[in-house]
Amino acid sequence: AQSVTQLGSHVSVSEGALVLLRCNYSSSVPPYLFWYVQYPNQGLQLLLKYTSAATLVKGINGFEAEFKKSETSFHLTKPSAHMSDAAEYFCAVSPPIYNQGGKLIFGQGTELSVKP
Amino acid sequence: GAVVSQHPSWVICKSGTSVKIECRSLDFQATTMFWYRQFPKQSLMLMATSNEGSKATYEQGVEKDKFLINHASLTLSTLTVTSAHPEDSSFYICSAREPQGRTKRLGETQYFGPGTRLLVL
Protein backbone atom coordinates (compact mmCIF):
# COMPACT_ATOMS: atom_id res chain seq x y z
CA ALA A 1 0.00 0.00 0.00
CA GLN A 2 1.08 3.53 -0.71
CA SER A 3 1.68 6.13 1.96
CA VAL A 4 3.22 9.58 2.22
CA THR A 5 5.02 11.25 5.10
CA GLN A 6 5.75 14.94 5.17
CA LEU A 7 8.39 15.79 7.75
CA GLY A 8 7.47 18.92 9.61
CA SER A 9 3.96 20.24 9.86
CA HIS A 10 5.26 23.79 9.86
CA VAL A 11 8.30 25.33 8.20
CA SER A 12 9.33 28.95 8.58
CA VAL A 13 11.88 30.68 6.36
CA SER A 14 12.99 34.23 5.75
CA GLU A 15 12.20 35.96 2.50
CA GLY A 16 14.94 35.15 0.01
CA ALA A 17 16.03 32.01 1.82
CA LEU A 18 15.97 28.46 0.50
CA VAL A 19 12.71 26.56 0.85
CA LEU A 20 12.93 22.82 1.52
CA LEU A 21 9.80 20.80 2.19
CA ARG A 22 10.36 17.11 2.79
CA CYS A 23 8.31 14.23 1.49
CA ASN A 24 8.95 10.51 1.76
CA TYR A 25 6.76 7.84 0.25
CA SER A 26 6.28 4.13 0.41
CA SER A 27 5.00 2.24 -2.57
CA SER A 28 5.10 -1.33 -3.81
CA VAL A 29 4.99 -0.22 -7.45
CA PRO A 30 6.61 2.75 -9.18
CA PRO A 31 4.38 5.63 -8.16
CA TYR A 32 3.41 8.95 -9.57
CA LEU A 33 4.23 11.80 -7.18
CA PHE A 34 2.74 15.25 -6.90
CA TRP A 35 3.12 18.47 -4.98
CA TYR A 36 0.07 20.67 -4.52
CA VAL A 37 -0.26 24.08 -2.86
CA GLN A 38 -3.33 25.31 -1.03
CA TYR A 39 -3.98 28.92 -0.13
CA PRO A 40 -6.48 29.70 2.66
CA ASN A 41 -10.04 28.74 1.85
CA GLN A 42 -9.12 27.57 -1.63
CA GLY A 43 -8.74 24.30 -3.46
CA LEU A 44 -5.44 22.71 -4.41
CA GLN A 45 -3.22 23.92 -7.21
CA LEU A 46 -0.75 21.59 -8.88
CA LEU A 47 2.86 22.69 -8.46
CA LEU A 48 4.59 19.81 -10.20
CA LYS A 49 4.44 16.09 -10.81
CA TYR A 50 6.72 13.12 -11.37
CA THR A 51 5.46 10.41 -13.71
CA SER A 52 8.58 8.30 -14.34
CA ALA A 53 10.29 10.66 -16.78
CA ALA A 54 13.07 13.00 -15.63
CA THR A 55 13.86 12.65 -11.94
CA LEU A 56 14.31 16.41 -11.50
CA VAL A 57 10.97 18.03 -12.06
CA LYS A 58 10.45 21.74 -12.49
CA GLY A 59 7.13 23.27 -11.59
CA ILE A 60 5.41 26.59 -11.41
CA ASN A 61 6.46 29.58 -9.33
CA GLY A 62 10.12 28.52 -9.29
CA PHE A 63 9.58 25.28 -7.40
CA GLU A 64 11.26 22.01 -8.27
CA ALA A 65 11.47 18.53 -6.80
CA GLU A 66 13.79 15.59 -7.24
CA PHE A 67 12.66 11.99 -7.23
CA LYS A 68 15.20 9.82 -5.41
CA LYS A 69 14.25 6.19 -5.57
CA SER A 70 17.04 5.05 -3.27
CA GLU A 71 15.82 7.41 -0.57
CA THR A 72 12.10 7.07 -1.44
CA SER A 73 11.95 10.85 -1.33
CA PHE A 74 10.43 13.64 -3.37
CA HIS A 75 11.47 16.83 -1.58
CA LEU A 76 10.24 20.21 -2.80
CA THR A 77 12.67 23.11 -3.08
CA LYS A 78 12.78 26.73 -4.14
CA PRO A 79 16.02 28.72 -4.12
CA SER A 80 14.53 31.98 -2.86
CA ALA A 81 11.31 32.30 -0.91
CA HIS A 82 8.77 35.02 -1.62
CA MET A 83 6.12 36.27 0.74
CA SER A 84 3.51 34.96 -1.68
CA ASP A 85 4.79 31.40 -1.15
CA ALA A 86 3.22 31.28 2.31
CA ALA A 87 0.62 28.51 2.06
CA GLU A 88 -0.07 24.86 2.87
CA TYR A 89 1.82 22.34 0.76
CA PHE A 90 0.74 18.77 0.18
CA CYS A 91 2.76 15.90 -1.20
CA ALA A 92 0.72 13.11 -2.76
CA VAL A 93 1.36 9.70 -4.27
CA SER A 94 -0.69 7.80 -6.79
CA PRO A 95 -0.14 4.32 -8.13
CA PRO A 96 -0.32 4.01 -11.93
CA ILE A 97 -3.81 4.51 -13.28
CA TYR A 98 -4.41 0.82 -13.83
CA ASN A 99 -4.12 0.28 -10.10
CA GLN A 100 -6.71 1.70 -7.70
CA GLY A 101 -8.12 4.00 -10.32
CA GLY A 102 -5.58 6.73 -9.81
CA LYS A 103 -6.43 7.60 -6.23
CA LEU A 104 -4.31 10.23 -4.59
CA ILE A 105 -2.92 9.58 -1.15
CA PHE A 106 -1.95 12.79 0.59
CA GLY A 107 0.63 13.58 3.19
CA GLN A 108 -0.34 15.48 6.28
CA GLY A 109 0.62 18.82 4.78
CA THR A 110 3.30 21.36 5.64
CA GLU A 111 2.46 24.96 6.38
CA LEU A 112 5.09 27.30 5.00
CA SER A 113 5.53 30.69 6.63
CA VAL A 114 7.74 33.36 5.08
CA LYS A 115 9.14 36.09 7.31
CA PRO A 116 10.01 39.51 5.91
CA GLY B 1 -6.87 24.54 -19.39
CA ALA B 2 -7.90 21.97 -16.75
CA VAL B 3 -10.27 24.17 -14.78
CA VAL B 4 -12.64 22.70 -12.23
CA SER B 5 -15.40 24.71 -10.62
CA GLN B 6 -17.56 24.09 -7.59
CA HIS B 7 -20.87 25.60 -6.61
CA PRO B 8 -21.72 26.95 -4.17
CA SER B 9 -18.47 28.21 -2.68
CA TRP B 10 -20.05 28.31 0.74
CA VAL B 11 -23.38 27.36 2.24
CA ILE B 12 -25.07 27.65 5.61
CA CYS B 13 -28.02 25.39 6.32
CA LYS B 14 -30.19 24.22 9.18
CA SER B 15 -29.74 20.82 10.75
CA GLY B 16 -31.87 18.20 9.01
CA THR B 17 -31.85 19.79 5.59
CA SER B 18 -30.04 18.49 2.50
CA VAL B 19 -27.36 20.34 0.60
CA LYS B 20 -26.19 19.72 -2.97
CA ILE B 21 -22.71 20.63 -4.14
CA GLU B 22 -21.82 20.68 -7.84
CA CYS B 23 -18.43 19.95 -9.35
CA ARG B 24 -17.82 20.78 -13.01
CA SER B 25 -14.86 20.31 -15.32
CA LEU B 26 -15.00 23.39 -17.53
CA ASP B 27 -12.58 22.67 -20.36
CA PHE B 28 -12.13 18.92 -20.37
CA GLN B 29 -14.19 15.79 -20.01
CA ALA B 30 -13.81 13.91 -16.75
CA THR B 31 -14.94 10.32 -16.57
CA THR B 32 -13.66 10.22 -13.01
CA MET B 33 -14.17 12.75 -10.26
CA PHE B 34 -13.16 12.51 -6.64
CA TRP B 35 -14.76 13.98 -3.56
CA TYR B 36 -12.67 14.96 -0.54
CA ARG B 37 -13.39 16.34 2.87
CA GLN B 38 -10.96 18.56 4.75
CA PHE B 39 -11.08 19.58 8.39
CA PRO B 40 -9.26 22.71 9.59
CA LYS B 41 -5.49 22.36 9.57
CA GLN B 42 -5.73 18.80 8.28
CA SER B 43 -5.08 16.94 5.09
CA LEU B 44 -7.64 15.88 2.53
CA MET B 45 -9.63 12.75 3.20
CA LEU B 46 -10.95 10.93 0.14
CA MET B 47 -14.65 10.24 0.51
CA ALA B 48 -15.54 8.63 -2.79
CA THR B 49 -14.63 8.10 -6.42
CA SER B 50 -17.29 9.06 -8.91
CA ASN B 51 -17.34 7.47 -12.36
CA GLU B 52 -19.57 8.80 -15.11
CA GLY B 53 -22.56 6.60 -15.68
CA SER B 54 -21.94 4.23 -12.77
CA LYS B 55 -22.26 4.08 -9.03
CA ALA B 56 -19.71 5.85 -6.91
CA THR B 57 -17.13 3.92 -4.94
CA TYR B 58 -17.03 5.00 -1.33
CA GLU B 59 -14.09 4.83 1.00
CA GLN B 60 -14.34 2.80 4.16
CA GLY B 61 -16.28 4.58 6.86
CA VAL B 62 -18.11 6.96 4.54
CA GLU B 63 -21.89 6.54 4.63
CA LYS B 64 -23.18 6.22 1.08
CA ASP B 65 -26.74 7.04 2.14
CA LYS B 66 -25.52 10.17 3.86
CA PHE B 67 -23.34 11.44 1.04
CA LEU B 68 -25.12 10.83 -2.25
CA ILE B 69 -22.97 11.14 -5.35
CA ASN B 70 -24.23 11.42 -8.91
CA HIS B 71 -22.02 11.66 -11.99
CA ALA B 72 -24.55 12.07 -14.76
CA SER B 73 -22.32 13.59 -17.43
CA LEU B 74 -18.68 13.86 -18.40
CA THR B 75 -18.46 17.34 -16.91
CA LEU B 76 -20.65 17.24 -13.83
CA SER B 77 -20.66 15.38 -10.54
CA THR B 78 -22.81 16.27 -7.55
CA LEU B 79 -22.48 15.53 -3.86
CA THR B 80 -25.62 15.74 -1.74
CA VAL B 81 -25.27 15.81 2.01
CA THR B 82 -28.57 14.44 3.23
CA SER B 83 -30.12 15.34 6.58
CA ALA B 84 -27.11 17.43 7.44
CA HIS B 85 -25.96 17.75 11.04
CA PRO B 86 -23.40 20.08 12.62
CA GLU B 87 -20.73 17.38 12.48
CA ASP B 88 -21.03 17.45 8.69
CA SER B 89 -19.70 21.00 8.69
CA SER B 90 -16.48 20.92 6.73
CA PHE B 91 -14.66 22.00 3.58
CA TYR B 92 -15.60 19.77 0.66
CA ILE B 93 -13.31 19.65 -2.36
CA CYS B 94 -13.75 17.84 -5.64
CA SER B 95 -11.19 16.92 -8.26
CA ALA B 96 -11.44 15.71 -11.83
CA ARG B 97 -9.25 13.64 -14.10
CA GLU B 98 -9.33 13.11 -17.84
CA PRO B 99 -10.23 9.70 -19.28
CA GLN B 100 -7.39 7.20 -19.29
CA GLY B 101 -7.08 7.23 -23.06
CA ARG B 102 -6.45 10.96 -23.17
CA THR B 103 -3.75 11.29 -20.59
CA LYS B 104 -1.07 12.55 -22.96
CA ARG B 105 -1.90 16.15 -22.27
CA LEU B 106 -2.75 16.08 -18.61
CA GLY B 107 -1.10 12.85 -17.52
CA GLU B 108 -2.36 11.22 -14.38
CA THR B 109 -3.17 14.51 -12.74
CA GLN B 110 -6.19 15.39 -10.69
CA TYR B 111 -7.31 18.98 -10.99
CA PHE B 112 -9.08 20.43 -7.99
CA GLY B 113 -12.06 22.68 -7.57
CA PRO B 114 -11.93 25.70 -5.25
CA GLY B 115 -13.88 23.93 -2.51
CA THR B 116 -17.22 24.40 -0.78
CA ARG B 117 -17.43 25.37 2.84
CA LEU B 118 -20.48 23.90 4.54
CA LEU B 119 -21.74 25.11 7.90
CA VAL B 120 -24.64 23.27 9.46
CA LEU B 121 -26.37 25.10 12.29
- Interval A45-60: pLDDT, tens: 999 988 877 889 999 9
Q: Are A111 and A9 in contact (CB under 8 A)?
A: yes
pLDDT at B59 > cutoff 80: yes
Confidence category of residue A16, pLDDT binned at 50, 70, 90: very high
Residue environment code for B95-108, b if the CB has 16+ CB neighbours within 10 A, otherwise e: bbbbeeeeeeebeb
Please, which residues have CB within 8 angstroms of residue A28's CB and are 6 or more apart in sequence?
A1, A2
On chain A, the residues whose CB falls within 8 A of the CB of B114 are 42-43
User: Do B114 and A42 lie within an 8 Å CB cutoff?
Assistant: yes
Report the pLDDT averaged over residues A6-18. 96
- State whether B108 and A51 contact (CB < 8 Å): yes
Q: Which of B38, B44, B57, B91 to mutate to test the interface with A (most CBs of A within 10 A)?
A: B44
CB-nearest partner of A43 from B100, B107, B114: B114
Confidence at residue B13, expressed as pLDDT on a 0 to 100 scale = 95
- Res. B101 pLDDT band, cuts 50 70 90: low
Contacts of B112 in chain A (CB under 8 A): 36, 43-45
pLDDT band of B104, cuts 50, 70, 90: very low
Tell whether omega for the bond before B8 is within 30 degrees of 0, i.e. cis. yes
Spatial distance between the Cα atoms of A19 and B58, rounded to a whole number of angstroms: 37
> Could B97 and A32 be called an inter-chain contact, meaning their C-beta atoms sit closer than 8 Å?
no
CB contact under 8 Å between B107 and A51, yes or no, is yes
Q: Find the angle CA(B47)-CA(B49)-CA(B54) to the nearest 5 degrees.
A: 135
As a whole number, the mean pLDDT across chain A is 89
- Give just the sign of the alpha carbon dihedral A23, B103, B56, A45: positive
Closest Cβ–Cβ partner in A43, A46, A96 for B109: A46
Q: Please list every residue in chain A whose beta carbon sits closer than 8 Å to the beta carbon of residue B49.
A: 101, 103
Rounded to 5°, the CA angle B45-A106-A102 comes to 90
